[in-house]
Chain A
Amino acid sequence: MTDAGPVELVVNGTRHEVACDPDTPLLYVLRNDLGLVGAKFGCGLGLCGACNVLVDGHPTHSCDTPVWAVAGKQVTTVEGLGGHPLQGTFVEEQALQCGYCTSGMLVTAAALLEREPEVDDDGVRRALDGNLCRCGAHNRIVRAVLGARPCGR
């Protein structure tokens, strides 16, 4: 057990100090210390994508990333997407049923569009293969991501 010293991290552009063990999964710091509950616990093993956040722009499983590992980096959660076009197209396409996987889908897709603004249907599917949806909203999610490209649909 390491010391519970203050850990520093930057989330959605704001610097925070949290008194916790540096090995604490980032997910629990976000949810329980910072009150940012958008990222969800799904499996704890980095296999479902529900906990995804962006670390320096890269989709990252916050459930198995210790908080010390994001020191000096920029963490972006769904709350920090701030009116991203994806949030509009997800509503237009009604691209969810229960919505538990939605935050992870949104941040993963935001990074994809940043990296590959002209991505096609197959590319969206490949990029989201690590994000599980159990309700069967997949095709709506793909349409919402394609619709949020700078070129639109």
Chain B
Amino acid sequence: MSSPSLENNPRLDSWLTIEPGGRVLVRSGKVELGQGVLTALAQIVADELDVDLARVAMVAASTDASPDESYTAGSLSVQHSGGALRAVCAQVRALHLAAAAEALRVPAGSLSVADGEFVAPDGRRTSYWELTVPLDADVVPGSTPKGAGDHAVVGRSALRLDVPDKVAGRPRFIHDLQPAGLLHGRVVRPPSRGAVLLSVDESAAQRVPGVVAVVRDGSFLGVVAEREENALRALAALQAGCAWKEQDSLPPEHALADFLVSAPTEETVLSDTDTAAASAARSVRARFARPYLAHASIAPSCGLAVWEGGRLSVWSHSQGIYKLRTAICRLLELAPEDVVVQHVEGAGCYGHNAADDAAYDAVLLAPAVPGRPVRVVWTREDELSWGPLGPAMVVDIAVHLDDAGAVQRWQQDVWSNGHSHRPGPPGAPLLAATHVEAAVPNLPASDPPLQNGGGSGRNAVPLYDLPRQLVRTHRLQTMPLRTSALRALGAHLNVYAIESVVDELAVLAGEDPVGYRLGMLSDERARAVLTAAAERAGWGSDRGPDVGLGVGLARYKNRGAWCAVVAEVEAETSVRVRRLTIAVDVGLVVNPDGVVNQIEGGALQALSWTTKEQVRFDARTVTSRTWEDYPILTFSEVPPVDVVLLDRPAEASLGAGEASIGPTAAAIGNALYAATGLRVRTLPLTSANVVAAMDAG
């Protein structure tokens, strides 16, 4: 398996160290985001080396010790880091096997390997821990990892390595670190977008006991205190003492879709097989929209930093510690060798959240207290309103049909802000850098190119066999609210829209929605997940009045995992999802329970976005700032979720974190139609939007 991670970090000993005590230290550049990836990577190492999983210790990524594997994003960790570790471990095993054969004076082929011991036919043995094999060499092409039938640890559910600490309440999270001399920092965010701090009366804040420093730079304002509760008191006192210049800057929330399709945009053609003008007998047109979405992690973002002897140490739950270091160094004109960024777990990460911003807040406060670590924890209000948001989107689809009702031409246009505003490039400064005196302006978010999965256009190209298609994205050149990567990127609305229209075409053709899809689907693995989900869900059976079944299908990024979902929905004006049945093909499964957990989690998050979530804003700022204004799915609203894994041991492993998002959203929308006869094309599927669709229909 080729892996960019390995091409960039070819040395064997950059990835692992074999300790004489019988442990294997593994340094992946990928980070734990709550998705269980370090356990899956440990399984790959144990499997390739033939050692017990308990011997593998995963080292948290750090810029001074780990291979640079860029971001932990895009459901690529098992492919990239797993692929690299597989190749590295295959070679490390081969080197040790040869050394063991020499030490025991037997042919390598006669040795068996179990839990790190190499055993000769006569019973003599040595081990990884006894042999001294230098690993200061590059991996050579052609190290052959194990074949499909040879896995002992891969392919079996393994208990997550981090779970025992988490159920005991032991410190695991960045919020839990207690370094000596720790101080507590908090930052005053402006009351609205673009607000300028005119003056601040610090006196009340300075009177709060234990306040060590108030830091102001332009419109960036923060406080550092000995005790956390006093940092919060000082924060409130500072907020009360500020005078701001404010202005309206946001489009009207009720006309967000109109704003998206009328703002200046950059057009990109993703697919154009539209060789001739079509004369359509009939056409189907529909517009779909989703609002801005918040990451809404249960923990607010957190960062920790200390300046000591001209060196800066930063702890962060960033998805990209090297990129964060690059951004810090650029903004503060520091040399990379003077800055270390260490990853520490945060709460669940579903894309580019405020982790990097919180780290930079701590970096800006720390110089006021040299030698003492400062931790910044964002408030819940700032987390929901100032973190990067999943972009609002509009998708227009126009389908031309011939006389027989077959699809002649498919046109899809996507309007959205870009889905990537990650730190690193000059136009994507960390939040505080846009508030300081020498502010760096935000450029509008960009989109990853289609060969990397695309952003707005992710899954905008249908996976069906279509004779002609034209698919375009229209990326906004203005960015009223900062947007960046949220789980599945554009795939959430693109798959919702495509699958809704395909459903509509099936109805027009008088065909069953599953059968209709199979009729224009030559991708065998797509057919297999669709068929499996439909069978498992009892597709075709009548569920009674006001209840409907709907299906959604996609191959994530058109190059990742295949996933089909059947939703059972009960609805009149309010939508209740009663069951989700999911079939997924992620190639070779490393940790079956881990994959099920990710697929199920993605589906429930998509259910929450699709039926409940909407970032609210007025002319100046985001107004959904607490769980009351931004409700997410609760236990009583969670339906049973049944996941079927189609194991493909001979196929490459594919990521599982995002595959179920689009198909789940689509299945719910289509089930809502089956239950009510209504096509609701504006998300979320709240009573208000259902009633609006009813009135429009």
Contact = CB atoms under 8 A, between A and B. Distances in A.
B604 interface: yes
B597 A137 contact: yes
Contact of A140 (B345, B380, B597, B627): B597
Interface stretch (B156-164, B276-284, B670-678): B156-164
Given A42-B298, A94-B160, A102-B166, A135 B638 contact: no
B531 interface: no
B638 A138 contact: yes
B296 interface: yes
B640 A139 contact: yes
A78 interface: yes
B299 A40 contact: yes
B628 A79 contact: no
Given A36-B169, A100-B347, A132 B209 contact: no
Contacts of A43: 380, 626-627
Contact of A96 (B166, B297, B349, B602): B166
Contact of A135 (B300, B345, B348): B348
A91 B159 contact: yes
Nearest to A33: B227
A57 B545 CA distance: 44
Nearest to A49: B298
B34 A139 contact: no
Q: How large is the interface on A (under 10, 10 to 19, 20 to 34, 35 or more residues)?
A: 35 or more
Contact of B297 (A24, A91, A134): A134
B166 A99 contact: yes
A85 to B, nearest CB: 11
Contact of A35 (B36, B178, B345, B604): B178
Interface string B145-173: 00000000000000110111011111111
Given A20-B227, A50-B299, A40 B605 contact: no
Nearest to B384: A43
Given A32-B228, A137-B601, A138-B638, A98 B380 contact: no
Interface in A18-47: 20-21, 23-25, 28, 31-32, 35-45, 47
Contacts, number: 171
Interface residues of B, number: 59
B299 A100 contact: yes
A94 B636 contact: no
B169 A37 contact: yes
A23 B546 CA distance: 52
A136 interface: yes
A97 B634 contact: no
A4 B230 CA distance: 12
Contacts of A31: 176, 228
A102 to B, nearest CB: 5
Contact of A1 (B209, B347, B348, B600): B209
Contact of A21 (B173, B229, B350, B628): B229
B175 interface: yes
A40 to B, nearest CB: 7
Interface of A is mostly: loop
Contact of A48 (B166, B350, B627, B635): B627
Given A44-B380, A134-B632, A97 B597 contact: yes
A27 to B, nearest CB: 9
A75 interface: no
A37 B169 CA distance: 7
Interface string B292-322: 0000111110000000000000000000000
A28 B228 CA distance: 7
Given A32-B228, A126-B636, A134-B348, A78 B299 contact: no
A60 interface: no
A87 interface: yes
B605 A134 contact: yes
A142 interface: yes
B30 to A, nearest CB: 15
Most buried by B among A100, A106, A124, A126: A100
B33 interface: yes
B597 A94 contact: yes
A107 to B, nearest CB: 9
Contacts of A126: 635-636
Nearest to B348: A98
Contacts of A4: 209
Contacts of A24: 227, 229
B167 A132 contact: no
A119 to B, nearest CB: 13
Interface in B114-168: 159-160, 162-164, 166-168
A133 interface: yes
A136 B168 contact: no
Given A40-B173, A44-B379, A141-B635, 8 more contacts: A21-B229, A37-B169, A77-B169, A97-B598, A98-B297, A135-B605, A136-B633, A139-B641
18 contacts: A1-B209, A21-B209, A28-B229, A32-B178, A32-B227, A37-B173, A37-B176, A43-B380, A48-B298, A98-B345, A100-B348, A125-B638, A129-B634, A132-B298, A135-B601, A137-B597, A138-B633, A139-B638
Interface of B: 33-36, 159-160, 162-164, 166-173, 175-176, 178, 208-209, 227-229, 296-300, 345-350, 377, 379-380, 593, 597-598, 600-605, 626-628, 632-636, 638, 640-641
